[in-house]
Amino acid sequence: MIAPQPLPPAVAELLARQAEYRRRLARLSFEEKIAIIERMRELNTWRKHVEPPHVIKPADDSNH
Amino acid sequence: MKGTLQVINQMVADGVIDGYVIGGAIAATYYLEPINTSDVGIFFHIAISASGLATLSPLYAYLRERGHEPKDETIEIAGWPVQFLPIFNPLLEEAYQQALKITFQAVPTQIMQTVHLMAIMVQTGRPKDYARLLQFIEADAVDVSTLELVLARHDLSERWKEFLIKFGVTINKKA
């Protein structure tokens, strides 16, 4: 089995900050959390129905 | 969500369902950070017809009469797709009987306790259930001794142990 490698300090700090952010979200009231989920749902709907599709255009190689 | 719960409470008052408990991601959100979900899971006792068949027809008819239309496996109520899920085993029955009574914007409602949510995740065993179990453990949002009693009562202790080993989880039990 491969021994786990210690994370680079910058990554460890980022993960710690993310965990603290999640703990703060968990301490919100139920009403506040549901309001956040409702915004997430709006965003999901926008992505599905309104957001312009990401089109990758073929490279213009006419000059080559 | 407030309007959704008011409609569901009215269904109870009108005798369409005898009660309910919120489960799934919305119930988990009560204990954790907000979870990106598309619907509300409502567990209830399904009506049995005169011929002995379990049927959702009276529930659908009641909601249709009030302008709430089915959409895929859900029914749209006041902006939220609601999934009505029958209580079909002893664990769900216990979750229903021991539901936590709360209010949402002054509307009374019931949600599953953490131990029952987690036991249902162990029982269901989909990848997203395991991911959410890890969230509960990381958030230290459960009394593990109580959870283990529920798991033992519903013959889920072995599955729980397998989950802990598979994901390398060490539990620190509270004194």
pLDDT per residue as tens digits for the range A20-57: 898 899 999 999 999 999 999 988 888 888 767 776 77
Q: Would the pTM count as exceeding 0.95?
A: no
Name the least confident of A28-37, B13-22, B51-60, B95-104. Answer: B51-60
- The per-residue pLDDT of chain B, averaged, comes to 92
Check CB contact under 8 Å for B104 and A36: no
My answer on whether B67 and B88 are in the same domain is yes
* Chain B residues touching residue A25 (CB < 8 angstroms): 33-34
Distance CA B153, CA B40 (A): 27
Locate B105 and state its tokens: 């914007």
Could you tell me which chain A residue has the CA closest to the CA of B136?
A26
Using an 8 Å Cβ cutoff, are B13 and B102 in contact? no
Could you tell me which chain A residue has the CA closest to the CA of B102?
A30
Check CB contact under 8 Å for B34 and A36: yes
Helix (H) or strand (E) holding B140: none
Identify whether B58 is part of a domain: yes
- Amino acid A26: pLDDT: 92
- Amino acid B174: pLDDT: 60
Q: What is the ipTM of this complex?
A: 0.86
Identify whether B173 is part of a domain: no
- Amino acid B98: pLDDT: 97
My answer on whether B47 and B124 are in the same domain is no
* Chain B residues touching residue A36 (CB < 8 angstroms): 34
pLDDT digits (tens, 9 = 90+) for B40-80: 999 999 877 777 777 788 889 999 999 998 988 899 999 99
Res. A62: pLDDT tops 60: no
How many domains would you assign to chain B?
2
* Model confidence band, residue B175 (pLDDT cutoffs 50, 70, 90): low
My answer on whether B78 and B103 are in the same domain is yes
List all residues of chain A from 1 to 60 with a beta carbon under 8 Å from chain B: 19, 22-23, 25-26, 28, 30-31, 33-34, 36-38, 40-41, 44
Identify whether B172 is part of a domain: no
My answer on whether B23 and B108 are in the same domain is yes
Q: Using CB atoms, which residue from A23, A33, A44 is nearest to B34? A: A33
Strand B74-77 to B80-86 pairing: antiparallel
Could you tell me which chain A residue has the CA closest to the CA of B107?
A31
Identify whether B161 is part of a domain: yes
My answer on whether B125 and B108 are in the same domain is no
B155–chain A nearest CA distance, Å: 31
My answer on whether B137 and B157 are in the same domain is yes
| Number of H-type helices and E-type strands within chain B | 8, 9
Locate B137 and state its tokens: 């453990």
Among candidate residues B79, B94, B112, the one where a domain is terminated: B112
> For residue B35, what are the domain limits?
2-112
pLDDT digits (tens, 9 = 90+) for B113-140: 999 999 999 999 999 999 999 999 988 8
My answer on whether B136 and B68 are in the same domain is no
- Amino acid B139: pLDDT: 86
Beta-carbon contacts of A8 under 8 Å, excluding residues fewer than 6 positions away, are: none
Check CB contact under 8 Å for A44 and B139: no
* Model confidence band, residue A60 (pLDDT cutoffs 50, 70, 90): low
- Amino acid A63: pLDDT: 55
Could you tell me which chain A residue has the CA closest to the CA of B2?
A31
- Amino acid B84: pLDDT: 94
* Region label for B27, one of left (φ > 0), alpha (ψ between -120 and 50) or beta (otherwise): alpha
My answer on whether B152 and B95 are in the same domain is no
* Chain A residues touching residue B141 (CB < 8 angstroms): 26
My answer on whether B66 and B86 are in the same domain is yes
My answer on whether B149 and B108 are in the same domain is no
My answer on whether B105 and B119 are in the same domain is no
